[in-house]
Structure 1
């Protein structure tokens, strides 16, 4: 752990906020169940046959190492009793990398360069259009 007081203070604050968020979700689930409005998983009205069930109980490891494979969330019967947790050591993207559209120039977005665009339609790079006055 760092000895830097700012780092220690920030970490202490972030852990406190995480405690609140965990308790918030636990209280919300308890309230939904006790009032009879919902059961887990929420939304219970969503047809399970439409859910991509192959992913419903997978824990995707996005950390270095495999220590997370030992957790309750990565193996054994699921908390809701409807599945078995599965540990995925090296999850892979499920689709192609998205190509976002070029933003409106009034938003000051960086234009694509020829190297990125690949079709030469950019009319040169920003560097080519920049005039440096000395």
Structure 2
């Protein structure tokens, strides 16, 4: 599987969602770094070749570069992606899963389900 970092990147334009998701992960013993946009996350990935999270939790709908576009740009890395969204868009879900996403959750999501997904991909 792609990257083997010991942390998760959380990418969400809603700062409160990003912070609460990172706190949830930290409470479960999982390190997390947050990004306010797909562009900020991609810039970090490009700035340092060694930067490689074990998993990325992505909001589907963000200004600038959407979560689905981030997925497209990262396709060659085989980096596990978990999508979260507040919207009911079956076509976005289908596209994310067809692109290799390991999960797709609606906000508010079940914390245990998210932690379980993250732990599985980090093993």
Q: Which has the larger radius of gyration?
A: 1
TM-score category (smaller protein): under 0.3
Q: Which has the higher strand share?
A: 2
TM-score normalised by length of structure 2 = 0.24
Task: Return the structure number with greater relative CO, CA threshold 8 A, min gap 6.
Answer: 2
